[in-house]
Structure 1
Amino acid sequence: MKKIDTLRLSLPIAVKTFFLAVLIISDFSVSGQTLPELDWSINYPGIYTDLTRQLISTRDGGYIMVGESESFGPGIISTLLKKCDSTGNEEWSKSYGGSAFDLPTAVIETADNGYLIATYTTSFLPEGTNIRLIKTDVIGDTVWTRVIPESNGCIVAFAGCVVETHDKGYLVAGSGWKAPNCNQIMLFKVSQAGEPEWHSEIGGNSDDYGGCLQTTIDGNFILAGHTFSFGSGLCDGYLVKFDQNGEVLWSNALGSTNYDSFRFVRQTSDGGYIAVGSTQSFGKAEQGFVVKTDSSGLTEWTAAHGGVGNEGFEGVIETSVLDYIITGSTNSYGIGLHDFFIVRIDQNGELTDMETHGGEDEDFGSTIEWIPGKGYIAGGSYSGDQYLDFWALCFNSDSLSTPVNQFPMTASS
């Protein structure tokens, strides 16, 4: 484990560093709220590639990271779960899976202080790619596992996200392909013990995918993904709100003429939603995509941010001044092939600040969360000694940067 200090270029260049991690501010002019200062960043090296898929804050003031690992575990690629305290010190790490591929997409902290991991696997029967849930206790020891039975008859099924429901069961959203049709968004409700209770499908006559699931303040659910079935473009970002029985309340395809998709959604303090992802509809390259909607999913504004290369957004959080901090990846800015990308936008989607973090190789950003008393904590993957490592970055916060009080939501992307 390495602790990494990075400084803004506007400060004197006296950087204490354990690797080449330079903060680059691109040549653009912005005004308004700035980003909170980077306090520390830590990477957690293995001997091969370990890729962070999600970071969430935990009730004890620390955080937990989940991702796919070639360094640890029994398989070709295994699931890796890593628990850290509020200062980035690793408390424990566990790996899960079989002899083949076990790739996680989501983790939540459960009501019993344990964790639930959503994965897709080729290691366990039935043959093919199936959704698999792993329930652990507070120290990551396995309590039960469940392969969703034949993933509802899908030939190929992928987990996307999971939330805990009001009855302490779990709702899993993903995608599955059934001959002779196409990919549909799949919802699977299981009990607290992982027993199947019901399933539902959402989609049209083409391919549709679910990537992020959240509980809404009214006790229902919001899902973000992308759709080839609906909308005006080749592919559009897709928001679907549905109730506790999987019945769709409303859905909306959001985008323009080309390929647009959502990776993350969060309910905002005004009852609406903010969704982030990527777009190819504005400019020549892929850019970070942001859409703000009202409570019914109707667009209030759309924004695209990026440069001459490619950008994608993976996480967003609302602050107490009602603007937004967004994390993702870029190869337009920074010194590496890709870099961790963090931006701040105002209430109308206008850029007010942005930074990159990383070295000369491939570095990526994922989700961002809040740790009370510490600041914002973001996950990513850092190119250490040749291979990618789990990576966490902590940003200090003042009174103008603390997140708005939001309905507690467990999410994944």
Structure 2
Amino acid sequence: MIQTSDDGYIFVGTKDLVNSTDIVVVKTDMYGNPVWEKTYGDSLNNIGNSIKATADGSYIILGTTYIDLNQTDMHLLKIDSKGNVIFENLIGSNYSETGNSVIETSEGEFVLVGTKQNDPDAANSSLDICMVKANAQGDSIWTRIVGGTADETATGIIQNFDGNYVIIGSSESFAEVGQAKSNIFIVETNQNGIPITLMSYGGQENDHGSSVIQLDDGSYILVGTTESFGSGGKDVFVAKTAVGDIRTKEWETTFGGEKNDLGAHICLLKDANYAIIGTTESFGNGDRDMYLVKFDGIGNEIFYRTFGSTGYDQGKYLIQTSDEGFGILGLTGFENNSMICINKTNADGELK
């Protein structure tokens, strides 16, 4: 989700058709009313996962496309401000790749991350993190694989102040002392995609990473979901690292209640605090609701808000808007159907 220069919004998702799905991009006005909607894809299933604004005023989109019923490729798409295609490329191999997050680099190229399935017919088949560098035309320059003997997945990527890349996801292969099952996984690579530092955060149960930001001092805050710590079920996990060192943790905290609470995306705010969007089953009005939590630089909660109806609602992505309020992208479900929804709040997280 991006706020556009006219104070509207643009976001990417997936649209159900009769026998398939397409990547869908919607541009709205400042009140969330659709201005235009465009779909992209072929006759099989296409899934939209990530959209970022580019330096030339266009948008870069990453998703996943089914080549056949059993194989997928990363789907990289650049569009102009009206939704017209500038380029569209599929990036993959003989096995399956999924595209989860894309950024434009400081050189005007693109780095994509997702997941690669190793030989599905092999007895020890597993998933690895797949990282792809593409040029300004969307053509692949190189591919790097990060993985071990079990499953690794990537959900997000940023470029840090040094020009290196920091990936967040989950790992079953690189456990630290006292960890088991799946752990929140953070990887720093150099500009050529070669890993420099790996670190896992978690405990004895399943923990998954979803989003990471770098702060002005060079440290990082990461967010995910933990079953190892917290109040019960799944809880939102937040940790801050030391300056320039993803392996050293300064503090960690959790947010949640007795049921499941999931951390989706973190946003650095103009007042030097932070906000997270996600999904809660512990609080709110329905089976699942979106939540918005704001916290300070040492993890203390400033406010907590929920949004939703009697059905299920999920928070997916968060931005701070030009008026210092919040723009929230999510899903709302009812009667076996789900719809993309956007919420706009004031600076206190209130729908006014």
Partner of 2:288: 338
Instruction: Give the whole-Å Cα distance in 2 for the aligned partners of 1:87 and 1:385.
Output: 26
How many residues are paired up?
Answer: 340
Question: Of 245, 249, 264, which aligns to 1:296?
Answer: 245
Question: Of 137, 158, 162, which aligns to 2:98?
Answer: 158
Q: TM-score, normalised by structure 2?
A: 0.90
1:129 partner SS: strand
Q: What do you get for the CA RMSD once the two structures are aligned?
A: 2.2
Question: Of 122, 132, 144, which aligns to 2:87?
Answer: 144
Q: Measured at CA, do residues 319 and 116 of structure 1 come closer, stay the same or move farther in structure 2, by a change above 3 Å?
A: closer
Identity of aligned pairs, percent?
A: 27
* Partner amino acid, structure 2, of 1:200: R
* Partner amino acid, structure 2, of 1:375: G
TM-superposed deviation, 1:383: 3.0
Partner of 1:191: 135
Q: Measured at CA, do residues 374 and 346 of structure 1 come closer, stay the same or move farther in structure 2, by a change above 3 Å?
A: closer
Q: Measured at CA, do residues 242 and 56 of structure 1 come closer, stay the same or move farther in structure 2, by a change above 3 Å?
A: same
Q: Does 1:170 align with 2:122?
A: no
Decide whether the 8 Å contact of 1:75 with 1:102 is kept in 2.
no
Deviations for 1:134-164, whole angstroms, at most 9, x for unmatched residues? 221211112221111xx244x2211111111
Q: Measured at CA, do residues 110 and 125 of structure 1 come closer, stay the same or move farther in structure 2, by a change above 3 Å?
A: farther
Question: Of 204, 218, 227, which aligns to 1:280?
Answer: 227
Partner of 1:65: 11
2:71 partner SS: coil
Instruction: Give the whole-Å Cα distance in 2 for the aligned partners of 1:235 and 1:116.
Output: 31
Partner of 2:45: 101
Deviations for 1:171-220, whole angstroms, at most 9, x for unmatched residues? 11111011245211111111111222111111222110110011212222
2:156 partner SS: strand
2:310 partner SS: coil
Q: Which 5+ residue runs of structure 1 have no aligned equivalent?
A: 1-54, 399-413
Partner of 1:246: 193
TM-superposed deviation, 1:308: 1.4
Q: Does 1:325 align with 2:275?
A: yes
Deviations for 1:365-410, whole angstroms, at most 9, x for unmatched residues? 1111122236221111123676322211112228xxxxxxxxxxxx
Instruction: Give the whole-Å Cα distance in 1 for the aligned partners of 2:270 and 2:13.
Output: 30
Higher RCO, 1 vs 2 (CA within 8 Å, ≥6 residues apart): 1
Partner of 1:132: 75
Decide whether the 8 Å contact of 1:66 with 1:81 is kept in 2.
yes
Instruction: Give the whole-Å Cα distance in 2 for the aligned partners of 1:382 and 1:276.
Output: 22
Deviations for 1:298-354, whole angstroms, at most 9, x for unmatched residues? 211111111111010111123344332111011111111110111122222233321
Higher strand share: 2
Partner of 1:14: none
Decide whether the 8 Å contact of 2:235 with 2:260 is kept in 1.
yes
Partner of 2:151: 207
Instruction: Give the whole-Å Cα distance in 2 for the aligned partners of 1:374 and 1:287.
Output: 27
Once the two structures are superposed, the pairs formed by residues 253-402 of structure 1 within 5 Å of their partners are 253-282=200-229, 283-294=231-242, 295-297=244-246, 298-373=248-323, 375-383=325-333, 387-397=337-347
Instruction: Give the whole-Å Cα distance in 2 for the aligned partners of 1:63 and 1:314.
Output: 19
Q: TM-score, normalised by structure 1?
A: 0.77
